[in-house]
C-alpha cells in the first residue's frame, strides 16, 4: 500500500469530563475512498472537525504526506489541500454556480473581478469531473436539484488543487438517480488520485464506492479494514457493538461519548 496522504495517530479529544475520541488512528490514502462509519455519538463529527482544524487535539499526531503538520485552524488545513464538504453544503441560493465556487476566493483583474477567468475555471473543473447535468455555470444555485447542488459543492472543494476531500453524508435526502450521480463523482475523485473520505450511514453507498472502511464505536476505532474483507453484517455489528468475529475492540468500552 502507498503511504497515506493524511494520518492521525493516537488522537484524543475531550470536552470537559467527556472523553470523545480515544487514541484514534485514522489514515487517508491517495486514489482511495475511505468510508468513516459509526452510530450517532460514535465520534465521527468530532474526528472530522479535528481533521478540519475546527477542534484542536488534546494529544496525538497529525501528519500530512508523512510529515508533522502544524494545524491551528481551518485555514492551515485548506493550505495543506484538505477540503470538507459539509452536509448543509454551504452554498448561497441567490448566487450562481461560478459565484458560489469562488465565494471568498474571487479572482481579480484589478480593480474588478475577473469574471471571464472564474467562469472558465468553473467550466474546466466541472468538465474534469465529467459533470454533464449542469446546463450553465451561470445558473442560480436556487434552480438546481439536490444532486446538482452536491456536485457544485464537491467541484468547489476540488477547484483549489485539493489532495483530500471529506464528504459528510453526500447522498442524504437524494433520490436514486441523484445518488447515482454523486457516487459516480466520488469514485471519479479517487480515480484522479485524490484521497476521499466518505462519512455515511448508508451501507449500500459505502460498499459501492469505498476501498477501506474505518468503523468508530464510542470514540474508538473498532476496525480499519479493506472493504473487500468485511461484509455488510460485520460492519453493522462493528458500529453497534464494537466487535464482529475477528474484527473489533477487545473489550467494549463502558464510558459513553458524544
Q: How confident is the model at residue 257 (pLDDT cuts 50, 70, 90)?
A: very low
What residues are paired with 164 via a beta bridge?
82, 195
Q: What is the pLDDT of residue 258?
A: 43
- What are the angstrom distances between the C-alpha of 99 and each of 26, 88, 127? 34, 18, 17
Question: pLDDT for 159-170, tens place per residue?
Answer: 988 999 999 999
Question: pLDDT for 112-151, tens place per residue?
Answer: 999 999 999 999 999 988 888 888 999 999 999 999 999 9
Helices (H), the chain: 44-51, 74-80, 97-101, 115-128, 146-158, 176-191, 203-209, 232-241
Question: 145-174 burial string, b = 16+ CB within 10 Å, else e?
Answer: ebbbbbbbbbbbbbbeebbbbbbbbbbeeb
Q: Let me know how long the chain is.
A: 258
Report helix, strand or coil for 125. helix
Q: pLDDT: is 251 or 13 the higher one?
A: 13
- Here the cell at position 75 is 485555514
Q: pLDDT: is 245 or 14 the higher one?
A: 14
> Alpha-carbon distance 109 to 21, whole Å?
46
Report helix, strand or coil for 253. coil
Q: What is the pLDDT of residue 1?
A: 55
Q: What is the pLDDT of residue 250?
A: 66
Domain coordinates of the chain in residue numbers?
1-81+162-258, 93-160
Question: pLDDT for 196-239, tens place per residue?
Answer: 999 999 999 999 999 999 999 999 999 999 999 999 999 999 99
Q: How many helices (H) and strands (E) does the chain have?
A: 8, 14
Q: What is the pTM of this model?
A: 0.89
State residue 78 phi and psi, 5-degree precision: -60, -35
Average pLDDT, integer, range 38-44:
94
53: alpha, beta or left, given left = phi > 0 and alpha = psi -120 to 50? left
Question: pLDDT for 69-85, tens place per residue?
Answer: 999 999 999 999 999 99
Q: Which CATH class is domain 1-81+162-258?
A: alpha beta
Q: What is the pLDDT of residue 9?
A: 97
Amino acid at each position: 500500500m502507498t503511504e497515506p496522504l493524511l494520518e492521525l495517530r493516537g488522537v484524543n479529544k475531550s470536552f470537559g469530563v467527556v472523553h470523545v475520541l480515544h487514541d484514534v488512528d485514522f489514515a487517508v490514502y491517495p486514489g482511495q475512498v475511505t468510508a468513516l462509519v459509526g452510530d450517532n455519538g460514535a465520534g465521527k463529527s468530532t474526528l472530522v472537525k479535528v481533521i478540519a482544524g475546527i477542534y484542536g487535539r488534546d494529544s496525538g499526531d497529525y501528519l500530512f504526506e508523512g510529515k508533522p503538520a502544524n494545524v491551528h485552524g481551518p485555514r492551515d488545513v485548506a493550505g495543506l489541500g484538505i477540503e470538507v464538504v459539509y452536509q448543509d453544503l454551504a452554498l448561497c441560493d441567490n448566487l450562481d454556480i461560478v459565484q458560489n465556487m469562488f465565494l471568498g476566493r474571487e479572482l481579480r483583474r484589478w480593480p474588478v473581478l475577473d469574471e471571464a477567468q472564474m467562469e472558465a475555471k468553473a467550466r474546466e473543473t466541472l468538465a474534469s469531473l465529467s459533470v454533464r447535468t449542469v446546463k450553465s455555470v451561470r445558473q442560480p444555485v436556487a434552480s438546481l436539484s439536490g444532486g446538482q447542488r452536491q456536485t457544485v459543492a464537491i467541484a468547489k472543494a476540488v477547484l483549489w488543487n485539493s489532495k483530500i476531500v471529506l464528504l459528510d453524508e453526500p447522498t442524504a435526502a437524494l433520490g436514486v438517480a441523484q445518488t447515482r450521480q454523486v457516487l459516480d463523482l466520488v469514485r471519479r475523485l479517487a480515480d484522479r488520485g485524490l484521497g476521499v473520505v466518505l462519512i455515511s450511514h448508508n451501507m449500500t453507498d459505502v460498499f459501492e464506492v469505498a476501498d477501506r472502511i474505518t468503523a468508530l464505536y464510542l470514540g474508538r476505532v473498532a476496525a480499519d479494514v479493506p472493504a473487500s474483507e468485511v461484509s455488510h453484517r460485520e460492519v453493522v455489528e462493528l458500529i453497534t457493538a464494537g466487535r464482529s468475529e475477528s474484527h473489533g475492540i477487545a473489550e467494549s468500552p463502558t464510558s459513553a461519548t458524544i
